[in-house]
Structures are given as structure tokens and as C-alpha cells.
């Protein structure tokens, strides 16, 4: 094979690399953090540069669930339903302190951290997090996706 | 004819914010609608009863989170009225400037989804771009982009930075450009007109009966603006117009907001001219904070200008009296005093520790301001302790949303989206 | 002005609050006729809310109404004292937004409005027990609707 350019890799890492840059996200936007989510998605900060620009507005087509903003107990069943509707593989990002711990709202109405409802992969602190923090978290998530044991199969 | 039940939301792409609309359809026409809210109920009012007066301010940021400063303003003015504090002129001008910036961002954030949901995604990008420049000004002055807690009881948090005027000019120029572009894209666009003209119409009687205020009321042609009817700050010294609509449909609501952005920019420009120039901060001898504290512990007073932490910029002692009322009992001492003198330390401690702090006399106040969506008022009951006995927000959008069902009944299902977008539903304010 | 008229007719005592808004206490049974009169001048019902004076006053609740007169450029505040379990008249036939505002007061305080067309919870969910803005409802007592993966608080 002299003079040829070639790459060797495992299927595993190839899939990891591909998945990392094709994040279809489902934004579950409820509150103030949505403002910064909008800012991160719009042209100024442009989340598209990192391969996560495509928002899917149905959980069935999404890989990453962005939970943006406070989740109240009234909304909790809805969030869990949305999560259950997503197909594998799926990841969850908790965006803002409200989703991480309940944040400012330590009271009867608010869920104290969405990991009481669904499993979470990445936590973004901040109230609201600045778009730079969001991009940083996205890169961390991509790293995580790349390194993970990939679930795949050729058979149905 | 068979009827169909359709559920829109609470997590729906066109429902920015969480609200659920259950509609009964006959073909594509809506026969009956039921609007369910409360998905963002965060217990603000209950939580506020358990916080001191100062601690409530960050919560007010998060009520109407597209114009946080206007919420701060209403709350601060309500507490000041209870306490009977006069706010110094420079702080008032600053409150006005930043309040109007907030109003612009509010309207931009309302217009962005109107465009987006009717398929004009570019409008969204333009509006958000303009908002970024305005947020840069906020960021430089207040240290935060969105939840600033800038307006405090007695004044504002900090004076503006030295490059404030340049930043502001740039932001206004960019906003003007974006507004012009949005006008070009939407205002005479036949598709946009078809989707918004004559849809979601509210008559003047209905608007009053539903308790509409703000741009939604003005779009029906009714002249009412808190800034004109009950002037606060220095709005009576400023020359600005209150744009009115004629028919009260989606298009008018869009147009009123667009015109209000221009008026707000006029207010900002006039206020910047009328506001006196701040003192030039001199940079002579600088003392590190820890040196001053150490000297104070030994009972000495270390002379010289204190070097403050960068996030305390604009709160130096030389400008502090310009931006904060001179009532030591109610405001935190400047950091210079806190680090160097015993009295400053005690005052700070007393105001922060629970059980002391701000204790307004028993009584009640209702103080409104013109918020992004209309008359935004705080009703506060004090029982003379350091925590409010009851805090209630009169949320303009609550009354507006109570009309949504009636506004969409009889229309097509596709009209739900533009009608809903033009009302600027903000969950934090609606559900509190 | 309609204010003097109703003052005489319903023999109301005026109280001035710190914010200069004229404040009237009105007995529960007079509420509807009073509001009907006031509506002539005060076109807009700004707000309905309540305050819980548990253990401080004889009658536990005070329902507070704020009205706005656009023509006269003034506001007025009307208060009604309501004991626990008592009902007061609904204003939903006078102002359309009273419907939702009264539902909120019912949801948060459990005060019932007689004749209200659709009195159910608005901000909270039907399974919720109790009324959170009552002073005896603990701040942190949450009532989850689904089974949680972990306890919320330690
Ligand atoms: S984390 Fe802060 S900004 Fe984000 S939703 Fe919660 S309160 Fe709002």
C-alpha cells in the first residue's frame, strides 16, 4: 500500500466522532435561561459552529435534550414524558442553576434539580449561564459522546 | 360534523414559554379554547415573604425576564415609598436609561418570535443581534447580561463605566439598523400582512374589561401609558410620544412595539444629554483592600484611594453619594468605609444580618411603572419587620393572557401562533 | 366624583395609605353593588389579591381590589375582610379579567367566590392539597406529581 493515504480506526471511534458533530437538539425552554439559549443559538455566538445548530422540535428526532429554565412540579410529568419519547442514544443537558439544583427557588413549587426526574449528563451552572459557558458545556458533552461506549448494531 | 380536540403545549415549538392551549376544532376552525397556565409557577410571592427586603431584588429580575430592570425599578420604588427615601438625580437618570434599554430588549424579544413563527427566521437573527449590543452596555455597567439586579433600594448599584457613551452610541446605532431591516422585511411584506392584519382583534371595550395595559391596550387606539398618566422618574421632563394603533390586531401590536423602540431610543438620547457628567475618577495613590483592613484592625486609618475588586467598579466612595440615597440607615455603606472604619462595618453587618436590616414602617403600597407589557405594579404589605409580610406583583400579562381564549375562538388554528406571539407571553411574569 | 357618592351611600370610612391611594374597607355583602357603582368611573380592574393575617386579625383574610380610572387618572383600593370558610361575591360579570384573578386568589388562599363560573385551580395542579400563600403552609412542602428518582431535600 505504498504511496496511499489511509486512516485506520475502530468502528467505535468512528461512530463516536460522527455522533459528536451531529447533535440534533431538542430545546425544552421554560424560563429566563431561554433568553441566553436564544443568544447562544443566534448569529452572535452561533452554536452551529460546533455542530449543534439543528434544533428538532420533536423529541423523537433529537439526540440531546436541553432543559432550559426552571422545572416546576406541575411541569415535571411533561419533562419526563418528553425524555421517554426520545430514542437511544440520548443525552441530557441541565441548563442553568434552576435545573441543576432548583437554584433560587427552594420552595414548594420547584423541582430541586431535574436529576430527580431524569438522568442528566452535563450540568451548566449560572443564572443564567453566559453563552460562552454554554459553548464550553457543549464541547464537554461532545468529548463525553466521543469517549463513550457507543451503542450500535447492524441488525435490527 | 365531527369535532376534534387538539392539545397545544405545554412543550411546543411555537409556544415559547410554557402554556397549554386545548382547542376544540371544527375542521380548521376553533370552536372553543381553554388556556391552562401555571407551568412556570415558581412560588415567588411565598418565597419573598421569607426573604429580607434586599434579598427580594434578585427574584424580581426573574419575573419578567426580558426586561428585568423594569421589575427591579418597580420593586425598588415600592420599597422606597414605604421607607420614604428620595433618590439622587443621577441615579434617577440612570434608572431611566437602563429601564428604557430594558424596554427595547423586551420589544425586540417579542418581535423576534413573531417573525420566526411566521417563517421569517432572519428577523429573529436581526433582533437578537441588536439585543446583543444593548446587553453589552448592560454588561459593562452592571456586570451581568440579563439578571442584573442593578436597581437597588435607594439608588442603583454602580455608576457607568468611562466608555459608556461610546458603547451606548454604538448600541443605539446597531439597534436602529436592525429596526430598519426588520421594517424592511416585515412591515409591508404581503405574507406577513395576510397573517397578521385583522387577526386576533380586540375591541377597546374588551381591552378595558380585560384590564389590558401597555402596548396591547395602545394597539386598540387607547391612550394610556403610566409614564404619561402618572409620571415617575423624570419622564415629565422628556419629550417622547406614545405610539397608538387603530384596530387592535396582531399587526398593530407589532407596529406599536416597533414604534416604541424608536421612542425609547429617543428617551435614552435625551436622558444622556440631560444627565450631568459623572466625576472623572482619579487614579492617584492606590491602596490594596487587605492593607486597609489590616490597618483598621490595628485601629488605624489608611489614607488613599482603595483598590476595589473589579466587580465593584463604579461603586467608589467618590461617586457613591451620586447613585445612592444618603440615608445610612437604609443603604449599604461604601466599601471604603466598610474596610476602614468600625461604623461602616457595623452598618453593613446590621443591614445584612437577619432580624435587623431594612425595616419599613407597617403599611402598604402599590407602586406601578410602565413595564414591557403594561402596568407592572408591586403591592407590598409591611408589618414593620425586616421581611415583607406580603409581596404581590400585578402582572400585566396575566390580564392579557386571560383574553387569549376569546381572541382565538372562531379563528383558524394557524392563527393561534401569530396571535400568541404578538401578546408577548412571559412565563415568569404570568405564573410568578 | 363617584368616590364621594359611594362614600355617602355605603357609609365607608376612608383610610389613606402610604402611597396616597384612597383605601376603603367594605363589608362583604356590599362589595358587588359598590363595585358596580365604582365601575362608572374606574374602568379597569387592575388586580385582585389577598393577604392572610393568620392570628393577627379577627377575620383571617383581606381581599384587596385595585381599580384604575383612566379618565380621572387615579386609582382606588377596596378591601374586604373575609373569615375562614366565608364566601364573597364574584366580580366576573363586571370585568372579564376578574375570572382569572379570582381563580388565582382561590388557588393561593382557598377563598371561594360565590357565583364564579369556573372556580378551579389556575397556577397549581388539581392534585395539589392546601393553599400555598396561607401563612400556615410551609414554604418547602412540595407535592410531586410523579415518583421522583431521588428525594428532593435531605
Ligand atoms: S437558572 Fe436563573 S436564569 Fe435560569 S431559569 Fe433559573 S432563575 Fe432563570
pLDDT, one tens digit per residue, over B367-426 is 999 888 888 889 999 888 888 899 999 989 898 888 888 888 888 888 888 888 888 888
- The overall average pLDDT reported for chain C is 84
Cα gap B306→B292, rounded to integer Å? 8
pLDDT over threshold 70, residue A101: yes
Cα gap C125→B41, rounded to integer Å? 10
Contact status, residue B58 vs residue B149, Cβ threshold 8 Å: yes
Tell me whether residues A72 and B39 touch, CB distance under 8 A. yes
Q: Say which range, A47-61, B281-295, B369-383, C64-78, has the weakest mean pLDDT.
A: B281-295
Contact status, residue C109 vs residue C134, Cβ threshold 8 Å: yes
In tens, the pLDDT along C52-97 reads 888 888 888 889 999 888 887 888 888 888 888 888 888 888 888 8
Tell me whether residues C125 and A109 touch, CB distance under 8 A. no
- Given pLDDT bands bounded at 50, 70 and 90, which one contains residue B282? low
In tens, the pLDDT along B117-164 reads 888 888 888 888 888 899 888 888 888 888 888 888 888 888 888 888
Ligand 1 centroid from CA A39, angstroms:
15
| Mean pLDDT across A122-146 | 88
Q: Say which range, B49-63, B311-325, B379-393, has the weakest mean pLDDT.
A: B311-325
pLDDT at B5: 87
- The overall average pLDDT reported for chain A is 83
Angle at B228 between CA B224 and CA B234, to 5 degrees: 155
- Say if strands C74-82 and C22-25 run parallel, antiparallel, or are unpaired: parallel
Contact status, residue B291 vs residue B254, Cβ threshold 8 Å: no
Largest alpha-carbon pair distance within chain B?
89
Share of chain B above pLDDT 70, in %: 97
Which residues have CB under 6 Å of ligand 1? A 31-33, 69-70, 96-98, 103-104, 127-128; B 62, 147
The one-character DSSP state at B278 is P
- The overall average pLDDT reported for chain B is 85
In tens, the pLDDT along B206-262 reads 888 888 888 988 888 888 888 888 888 888 888 888 888 888 888 898 899 999 999
Cα gap B206→B412, rounded to integer Å? 21
- Rounded to an integer, what is the distance from CA C66 to the centroid of its chain? 9
Cα gap B300→A34, rounded to integer Å? 50
Q: Does A80 touch chain C (CB under 8 A)?
A: yes
pLDDT over threshold 60, residue A1: no
Atom in ligand 1 nearest the alpha carbon of residue A32? 8
- Rounded to an integer, what is the distance from CA B5 to the centroid of its chain? 37
Tell me whether residues B392 and C73 touch, CB distance under 8 A. no
pLDDT at A153: 66
Tell me whether residues C142 and A74 touch, CB distance under 8 A. no
| Mean pLDDT across B84-98 | 88
pLDDT over threshold 70, residue B429: yes
Q: Does C147 touch chain A (CB under 8 A)?
A: no
Name residue, grid cell 374602568: C43
- Residue B89 backbone dihedrals phi, psi, to 5 degrees: -60, -40
Reading the block at residue B68, the C-alpha cell is 428585568
Q: Does B143 touch chain A (CB under 8 A)?
A: no
The one-character DSSP state at A72 is B
Q: Say which range, B29-38, B330-339, C123-132, has the weakest mean pLDDT.
A: B330-339
The one-character DSSP state at B86 is P
Taking any CB pair shorter than 8 Å as contact, residues of chain B touching chain C are: 37-38, 41, 43, 45-47, 50, 81-82, 206, 208-211, 213, 222, 224, 229-230, 361, 363-367, 375, 377, 379, 381, 383, 389-390, 392, 394, 398-399, 401-403, 406, 431-432
Q: Say which range, A42-56, B399-413, C116-130, has the weakest mean pLDDT.
A: A42-56
| Mean pLDDT across C24-50 | 85
Q: Does B10 touch chain A (CB under 8 A)?
A: yes
Tell me whether residues B132 and A128 touch, CB distance under 8 A. no
For A75, the closest chain C residue by CA position comes to: C145
For A83, the closest chain B residue by CA position comes to: B11
pLDDT at C144: 87
B391 min Cα distance to partner chain C (Å): 9
Nearest to B213 by CA among B374, B350, B82, B88: B374
Atom in ligand 1 nearest the alpha carbon of residue A127? 2
| Mean pLDDT across B299-312 | 72
Ligand 1 centroid from CA C108, angstroms:
23
B119 min Cα distance to partner chain A (Å): 15
- Given pLDDT bands bounded at 50, 70 and 90, which one contains residue B27? confident
- Given pLDDT bands bounded at 50, 70 and 90, which one contains residue A4? low
Q: Say which range, A18-27, A145-154, B170-179, B262-271, has the weakest mean pLDDT.
A: A145-154
B163 min Cα distance to partner chain C (Å): 38
A15 min Cα distance to partner chain B (Å): 30
Angle at B16 between CA B11 and CA B18, to 5 degrees: 45
Test mutation, A92, A108, A119, chain C, max C CBs within 10 A: A108
pLDDT over threshold 70, residue B280: no
Please, what sign has the CA dihedral across residues B218, B222, B226, B231?
positive
Reading the block at residue B330, the C-alpha cell is 437604609
Ligand 1 centroid from CA A120, angstroms:
17
pLDDT at B54: 86
Cα gap C90→C25, rounded to integer Å? 17
Out of B16, B42, B132, name the one closest to residue A72 (CB): B42
pLDDT at B156: 87
Name residue, grid cell 439597534: B175
Contacts of B17 in chain A (CB under 8 A): 29-30, 34
Beta strand residue intervals within chain C, DSSP E: 14-16, 22-25, 44-52, 61-69, 74-82, 87-89, 112-114
For C128, the closest chain A residue by CA position comes to: A74
Contacts of C137 in chain B (CB under 8 A): 46
Element (H, E) at B390: strand B390-394
pLDDT at A50: 81
Atom in ligand 1 nearest the alpha carbon of residue A31? 5
For A110, the closest chain B residue by CA position comes to: B42
Cross-strand bridge partners of residue C47 = C66
64-93 in chain B: CB under 8 A from chain A: 65-66
Contacts of C146 in chain A (CB under 8 A): 76-77, 80, 117
For B113, the closest chain A residue by CA position comes to: A38
Write down which chains contact chain A via at least 3 CB pairs under 8 A: B, C
pLDDT at B3: 84
Ligand 1 centroid from CA A29, angstroms:
11
pLDDT at B84: 85
Tell me whether residues B129 and A31 touch, CB distance under 8 A. no
- Given pLDDT bands bounded at 50, 70 and 90, which one contains residue B283? low
Cα gap B389→B381, rounded to integer Å? 5
pLDDT over threshold 60, residue A156: no
- Given pLDDT bands bounded at 50, 70 and 90, which one contains residue C26? confident
Amino acid at each position: 500500500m505504498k504511496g496511499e493515504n489511509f486512516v485506520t480506526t475502530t468502528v467505535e471511534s468512528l461512530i463516536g466522532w460522527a455522533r459528536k458533530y451531529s447533535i440534533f437538539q431538542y430545546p425544552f425552554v421554560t424560563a429566563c435561561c431561554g433568553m441566553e439559549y436564544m443568544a447562544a443559538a443566534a448569529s452572535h455566538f452561533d452554536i452551529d459552529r460546533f455542530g449543534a445548530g439543528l434544533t428538532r422540535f420533536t423529541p423523537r428526532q433529537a439526540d440531546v435534550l436541553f432543559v432550559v429554565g426552571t422545572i416546576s412540579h406541575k411541569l415535571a410529568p411533561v419533562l419526563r414524558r418528553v425524555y421517554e419519547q426520545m430514542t437511544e442514544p440520548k443525552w441530557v443537558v441541565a441548563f442553568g442553576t434552576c435545573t441543576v439544583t432548583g437554584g433560587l427557588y427552594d420552595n414548594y413549587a420547584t423541582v430541586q434539580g431535574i436529576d430527580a426526574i431524569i438522568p442528566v449528563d452535563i450540568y451548566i451552572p449560572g443564572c443564567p449561564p453566559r453563552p460562552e459557558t454554554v459553548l464550553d458545556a457543549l464541547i464537554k458533552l461532545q468529548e463525553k459522546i466521543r469517549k463513550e461506549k457507543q451503542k450500535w448494531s447492524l441488525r435490527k | 360534523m365531527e369535532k376534534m380536540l387538539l392539545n397545544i403545549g405545554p412543550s411546543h415549538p411555537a409556544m415559547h414559554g410554557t402554556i397549554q392551549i386545548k382547542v376544540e376544532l371544527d375542521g380548521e376552525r376553533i370552536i372553543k379554547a381553554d388556556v391552562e397556565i401555571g407551568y412556570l409557577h415558581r412560588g415567588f410571592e411565598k418565597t419573598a415573604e421569607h426573604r429580607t427586603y434586599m434579598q427580594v431584588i434578585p427574584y424580581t429580575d426573574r419575573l419578567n425576564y426580558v426586561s428585568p430592570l423594569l421589575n427591579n425599578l418597580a420593586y425598588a420604588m415600592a420599597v422606597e415609598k414605604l421607607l420614604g427615601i428620595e433618590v439622587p438625580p443621577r441615579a434617577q437618570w440612570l434608572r431611566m436609561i437602563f429601564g428604557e434599554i430594558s424596554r427595547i430588549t423586551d420589544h425586540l424579544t417579542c418581535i423576534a418570535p413573531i417573525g420566526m413563527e411566521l417563517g421569517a427566521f432572519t428577523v429573529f437573527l436581526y433582533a437578537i443581534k441588536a439585543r446583543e449590543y444593548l446587553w453589552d452596555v448592560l454588561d459593562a455597567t452592571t456586570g451581568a447580561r440579563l439578571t442584573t439586579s442593578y436597581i437597588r433600594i435607594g439608588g442603583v448599584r454602580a455608576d457607568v463605566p468611562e466608555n459608556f457613551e461610546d458603547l451606548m452610541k454604538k448600541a443605539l446605532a446597531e439597534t436602529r439598523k436592525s429596526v430598519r431591516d426588520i421594517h424592511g422585511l416585515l412591515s409591508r411584506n404581503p405574507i406577513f400582512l395576510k397573517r397578521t392584519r385583522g387577526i386576533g382583534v380586540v375591541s377597546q371595550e374588551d381591552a378595558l374589561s380585560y384590564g389590558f395595559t401597555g402596548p396591547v391596550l395602545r394597539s386598540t387606539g387607547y391612550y394610556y401609558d403610566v409614564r404619561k398618566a402618572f409620571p415617575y422618574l423624570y419622564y415629565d421632563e422628556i419629550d417622547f410620544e406614545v405610539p397608538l394603533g387603530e384596530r387592535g390586531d396582531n399587526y398593530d401590536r407589532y407596529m406599536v412595539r416597533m414604534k416604541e423602540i424608536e421612542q425609547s431610543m429617543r428617551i435614552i438620547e435625551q436622558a444622556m444629554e440631560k444627565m450631568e457628567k459623572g466625576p472623572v475618577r482619579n487614579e492617584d495613590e492606590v491602596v490594596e483592600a487587605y492593607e486597609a483592613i489590616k490597618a483598621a484592625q490595628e485601629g488605624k486609618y489608611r489614607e488613599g484611594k482603595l483598590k476595589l475588586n473589579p466587580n465593584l467598579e463604579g461603586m467608589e466612595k467618590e461617586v457613591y453619594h451620586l447613585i445612592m440615597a444618603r440615608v445610612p440607615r437604609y443603604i449599604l455603606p461604601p466599601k471604603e468605609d466598610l474596610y476602614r472604619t468600625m461604623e461602616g462595618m457595623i452598618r453593613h453587618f446590621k443591614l445584612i444580618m437577619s432580624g435587623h436590616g431594612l425595616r419599613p414602617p407597617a403599611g402598604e403600597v402599590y407602586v406601578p411603572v410602565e413595564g414591557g407589557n403594561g402596568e407592572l405594579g408591586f403591592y407590598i404589605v409591611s408589618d414593620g419587620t425586616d421581611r415583607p409580610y406580603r409581596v404581590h406583583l400585578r402582572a400585566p400579562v396575566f390580564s392579557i393572557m386571560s383574553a387569549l381564549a376569546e381572541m382565538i375562538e372562531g379563528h383558524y388554528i394557524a392563527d393561534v401562533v401569530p396571535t400568541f406571539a404578538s401578546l408577548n407571553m412571559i412565563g415568569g411574569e404570568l405564573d410568578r | 366624583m363617584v368616590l364621594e357618592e359611594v362614600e355617602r351611600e355605603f357609609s365607608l370610612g376612608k383610610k389613606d395609605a402610604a402611597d396616597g391611594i384612597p383605601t376603603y374597607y367594605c363589608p362583604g355583602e356590599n362589595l358587588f353593588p359598590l363595585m358596580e357603582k365604582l365601575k362608572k368611573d374606574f374602568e379597569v380592574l387592575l388586580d385582585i389579591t389577598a393577604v392572610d393575617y393568620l392570628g393577627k386579625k379577627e377575620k383571617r383574610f383581606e381581599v384587596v381590589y385595585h381599580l384604575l380610572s383612566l379618565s380621572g387618572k387615579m386609582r382606588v383600593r377596596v378591601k374586604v375582610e373575609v373569615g375562614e370558610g366565608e364566601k364573597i361575591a364574584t366580580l366576573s360579570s363586571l370585568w372579564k379579567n376578574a375570572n382569572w384573578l379570582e381563580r388565582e386568589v382561590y388557588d393561593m388562599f382557598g377563598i371561594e367566590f360565590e357565583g364564579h363560573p369556573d372556580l378551579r385551580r389556575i397556577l397549581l395542579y388539581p392534585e395539589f392539597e392546601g393553599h400555598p400563600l396561607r401563612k400556615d403552609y410551609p414554604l418547602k412542602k412540595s407535592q410531586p406529581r410523579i415518583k421522583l428518582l431521588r428525594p428532593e431535600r435531605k
